[in-house]
Structure 1
Amino acid sequence: MLKKLKKRVAKGFTLVEMTIVLFIISLLILIIVPNLGAQRKHATSVNQEALVNMIQNQVELYHDDTGDVPTDLSQLEKGDYLTAKQVRQASRENITLQNGQAVVQ
């Protein structure tokens, strides 16, 4: 009789164990997902701030070299102060030049 009991013992997880594991995973996801959104917004704002500072530095270099203040980012691109990729990124981030200052609109 003991031999029959040993054979009937199944290997694997019970439904209760699987439910508990899924519940724990769901809780972790509920905690992590909102934090990812906040981190993404913070990273975007830091990136945007760095881009504004870099553009402002290039505006100052342009002014030192030419004596003029650029009115458009394309002037900085034509003078090799910015790359086309940087200008496109600034456009996506809504960064423009106003009175010689890089601003986010």
Structure 2
Amino acid sequence: MLVVLFIISILILITIPNVSKHFATIDEKGCDSYVLMLNGQIEAYRISTGDYPASFKELFDNGYITEEVPKCPNKTVITFNGKMATIPNDSSLP
């Protein structure tokens, strides 16, 4: 019985760090996807109106997005640079 508990304990100790690492990866990929979706909504607004929105608030007011201040799943606030949405200090997105 003691051996079985020891083996189960080792398996749990191996599994927990891997699960935590995967949650961080999921949040990161979710944030990247959300930013790409926001950029798609910015382009849809530009196509509809002929000009880029001044801010996320303008997209929100016109029904293009559901949050006035878009945030990633990990609560990182997404910024708007006039033509596209970006994650602060992130160079992985175009």
TM-score band, normalised by the shorter chain? 0.7 to 0.9
Query: Structure 1 residue aligned with 2:23, among 36, 40, 43?
Result: 40
The sequence identity of aligned pairs, in percent, is 31
Bigger radius of gyration: 1
What's the TM-score, normalizing by structure 2? 0.81
1:100 equivalent in structure 2: 83
| RMSD (CA atoms) | 1.6
Instruction: Give the Cα–Cα distance (whole angstroms) in 2 for the partners of residues 89 and 21 of structure 1.
Output: 48
Matched, 1:82 2:65: yes
User: Gaps spanning 5+ residues in structure 2: where?
Assistant: 89-94
Give how far 1:68 is off.
Answer: 2.0
Give how far 1:93 is off.
Answer: 2.6
Instruction: Give the Cα–Cα distance (whole angstroms) in 1 for the partners of residues 44 and 70 of structure 2.
Output: 20
Number of aligned positions between the proteins = 86
What's the TM-score, normalizing by structure 1? 0.73
1:57 equivalent in structure 2: 40
- 3-state secondary structure, aligned to 1:21: helix
1:10 equivalent in structure 2: none
Decide which structure has greater helix share. Answer: 1
Which aligned pairs between 1:20-39 and structure 2 lie closer than 5 A?
20-39=3-22
Give the 4+ runs in structure 1 shifted more than 3 A. Answer: none
